[in-house]
């Protein structure tokens, strides 16, 4: 294994954490929040020292790693950056244990939104900002992974090849750097745009900044105890729906919008997602909830955010099922993904049609595009289903031992694997993560990461280690 090359690339993910710590130091100084400023200085120095140490160790490496090493790098990034992000939580005056701090960090990085804090409004504002920024940076990192690493043709279990993935080749260092820069710029522009819209809507500046970082990442952390304390007007609700849809759609849709290219031809998946969004709303149109709140709940479930304005509902299982669908294959959402459901349903219907009419010509394109569904795509889709439900069974088994009940264990497992916050939307908002057993917290940490990178990647790593192929 090329440890030095992995070390080199791992070091590059430490420096953005240093930058976030520096921003919090400036924020603390400007608003006189000196109570916790030392924790951000500690994070700044520790992230710089670790980053420079890893950079020095790997500076003479070949700067090239294979796909399995890339997967190991992704897991290492989540673990190391979560450790760095956990420092302010651990050093705060809230008497948070290291495990709880690490749990909060992983929850932020993966965009899950599980929190060990019960009364957010009593937290130091700098710590609230730190929680939100952990989601923002985690989503940015995942976009890098998704477009640069998961686009590998050798192990295409993300099936990115079935959707538009840009015109650039990632074979050269220049193209990789160019696309990373583009991702960063477009991501920042989108964040800034949503932030400005919320400010125009008369939302408090602090809330606008935090809710923007939460929505653009498909996360679940809020700057207060309830979304109802932030979003009140119809204009604010409209912006909320827009931001949730942005996190759900193919990120290359943003590329094409900025590059002024034809969209419909290359983004049939996004078109189908929008149609599905409309259908899901129509299915519960006559529910007692107001129309805006209902649309927000559907968009939030489909984007794997979980945020809602609904106080209580009898549709929790309906919204829970929507979270399984997820968004586009190239988005910040988790879940099984619409494209995989589409593939299995289309192949199943094709096989039934063959039995009824053997001479029928079967159309094996995806989303009525010019891209064909191959046998490998079908196998991968089926394997994703199997691995998801295997993960669901394993995690539920651990959580049941924690005496939280079968229903909560089952719901929490689905939300963990889809990186969706436990909110009123699923009638599971009162769960106290601080009181969970250590084994349950560790299990949730592991499966929050698995929910983001998928269990198949772990199988590939074990296969490489055990069989040395």
Question: In this predicted structure, what is the pLDDT of residue 169?
Answer: 47
Question: In this predicted structure, what is the pLDDT of residue 65?
Answer: 82
Question: In this predicted structure, what is the pLDDT of residue 176?
Answer: 67
Give the confidence band of 168 by pLDDT, cuts at 50, 70, 90. Answer: very low
Give the confidence band of 262 by pLDDT, cuts at 50, 70, 90. Answer: low
DSSP state string for 63-90: S---HHHHHHHHHHHHHHHHHHHHHHHH
Question: Average pLDDT over the chain, rounded to whole?
Answer: 87
Question: Over 60: is that where the pLDDT of 235 sits?
Answer: yes
Question: In this predicted structure, what is the pLDDT of residue 197?
Answer: 95
Q: Which residue has the higher pLDDT, 138 or 69?
A: 138
Question: In this predicted structure, what is the pLDDT of residue 16?
Answer: 95
Q: Indicate the range of 36-45, 170-179, 199-208 predicted with least confidence.
A: 170-179
Question: Over 60: is that where the pLDDT of 376 sits?
Answer: yes
Question: Over 90: is that where the pLDDT of 416 sits?
Answer: yes
Rounded Cα distance between 459 and 417, Å, is: 16
Of the candidates 404, 446, 463, 445, which has an alpha carbon nearest to the alpha carbon of residue 428?
A: 404
Question: Over 90: is that where the pLDDT of 433 sits?
Answer: yes
* pTM for this predicted structure: 0.92
Rounded Cα distance between 375 and 178, Å, is: 33
**How does pLDDT run across 59-101, given as a tens digit for each residue?**
877 777 888 888 899 999 999 999 999 999 999 888 899 999 9
With pLDDT > 70 as the criterion, what percentage of the chain qualifies? 93
Span 224-237, average pLDDT: 91
Q: Which residue has the higher pLDDT, 260 or 160?
A: 160
Helix (H, G, I), strand (E, B) or coil at 212: helix
Span 11-18, average pLDDT: 94
Give the confidence band of 165 by pLDDT, cuts at 50, 70, 90. Answer: low
Helix (H, G, I), strand (E, B) or coil at 360: coil
Residue 254: phi and psi, rounded to 5, are -65, -40
Give the confidence band of 170 by pLDDT, cuts at 50, 70, 90. Answer: very low
Question: Over 80: is that where the pLDDT of 156 sits?
Answer: no
Span 341-347, average pLDDT: 90
CA distances, 199 to each of 137, 207, 241, 245 (Å) = 22, 9, 16, 19
Q: Which residue has the higher pLDDT, 67 or 411?
A: 411
Span 154-164, average pLDDT: 76
Question: In this predicted structure, what is the pLDDT of residue 289?
Answer: 52
Span 118-133, average pLDDT: 91
**How does pLDDT run across 279-314, given as a tens digit for each residue?**
998 887 766 555 788 889 999 999 999 999 887 778
CB 450 within 8 A of CB 391: yes
Question: Over 60: is that where the pLDDT of 469 sits?
Answer: no
Give the confidence band of 457 by pLDDT, cuts at 50, 70, 90. Answer: confident
Q: Indicate the range of 95-109, 144-158, 344-358 predicted with least confidence.
A: 144-158
CA distances, 123 to each of 117, 203, 238, 387 (Å) = 9, 20, 28, 38
Question: In this predicted structure, what is the pLDDT of residue 467?
Answer: 67
CB 235 within 8 A of CB 203: no
Give the confidence band of 154 by pLDDT, cuts at 50, 70, 90. Answer: low
* The two three-digit tokens of residue 196, written as one number: 């400005």
DSSP state string for 399-438: HHTTTS-HHHHHHHHHHHHTT----GGGT-TT--GGGS-H
- Provide the 10 A C-beta neighbour count for residue 348: 11
């Amino acid at each position: 294994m090329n440890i030095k090359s992995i070390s080199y690339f791992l070091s590059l993910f430490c420096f953005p954490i240093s930058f976030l710590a520096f921003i919090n130091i400036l924020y603390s100084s400007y608003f006189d929040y000196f109570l916790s400023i030392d924790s951000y200085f500690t994070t700044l120095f520790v992230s710089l020292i670790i980053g420079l140490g890893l950079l020095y160790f790997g500076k003479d490496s070949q700067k090239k790693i294979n796909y399995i090493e890339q997967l190991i790098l992704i897991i290492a990034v989540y673990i190391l950056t979560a450790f760095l992000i956990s420092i302010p939580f651990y050093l705060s005056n809230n008497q948070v244990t290291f495990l709880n701090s690490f749990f909060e960090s992983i929850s932020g990085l993966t965009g899950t939104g599980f929190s060990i804090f019960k009364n957010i409004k009593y937290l130091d504002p700098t710590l609230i900002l730190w929680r939100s920024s952990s989601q923002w940076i985690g989503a940015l990192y995942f976009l890098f992974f998704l477009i640069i690493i998961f686009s590998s043709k050798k192990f295409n279990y993300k099936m990115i090849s079935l959707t538009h993935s840009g015109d650039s080749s990632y074979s050269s260092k220049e193209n990789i750097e160019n696309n990373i820069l583009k991702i960063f710029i477009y991501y920042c522009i989108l964040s800034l745009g949503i932030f400005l819209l919320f400010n125009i809507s008369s939302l408090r500046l602090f809330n606008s900044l935090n809710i923007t970082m939460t929505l653009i990442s498909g996360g679940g952390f809020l700057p207060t105890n309830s979304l109802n304390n932030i979003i009140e007007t119809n204009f604010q609700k409209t912006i909320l729906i827009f931001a949730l849809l942005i996190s759900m759609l193919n990120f290359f849709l943003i590329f094409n919008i900025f590059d002024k290219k034809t969209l419909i031809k290359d983004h049939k998946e996004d078109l189908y997602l929008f149609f599905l969004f409309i259908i899901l709303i129509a299915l519960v149109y006559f529910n007692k909830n107001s129309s805006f709140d209902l649309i927000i709940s559907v968009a939030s479930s489909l984007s794997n955010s979980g945020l809602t304005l609904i106080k209580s509902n009898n549709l929790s299982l309906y919204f829970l099922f929507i979270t399984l669908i997820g968004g586009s294959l190239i988005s910040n959402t988790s879940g099984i993904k619409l494209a995989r459901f589409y593939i299995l349903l289309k192949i199943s219907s094709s096989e039934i049609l063959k039995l009824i009419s053997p001479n029928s010509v079967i159309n094996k394109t995806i989303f009525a595009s010019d891209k064909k569904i191959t046998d490998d795509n079908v196998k991968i889709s089926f394997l994703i289903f199997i691995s998801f439900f295997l993960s669901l069974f394993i995690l539920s088994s651990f959580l049941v031992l924690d005496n939280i009940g079968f229903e909560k264990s089952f719901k929490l497992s689905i939300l963990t694997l889809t990186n969706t916050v436990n909110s009123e939307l699923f009638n599971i908002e009162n769960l106290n993560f601080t009181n969970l057993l250590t084994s349950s917290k560790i299990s949730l940490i592991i499966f929050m990461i698995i929910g983001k990178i998928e269990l198949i990647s772990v199988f590939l790593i074990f296969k490489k280690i055990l069989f040395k192929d």
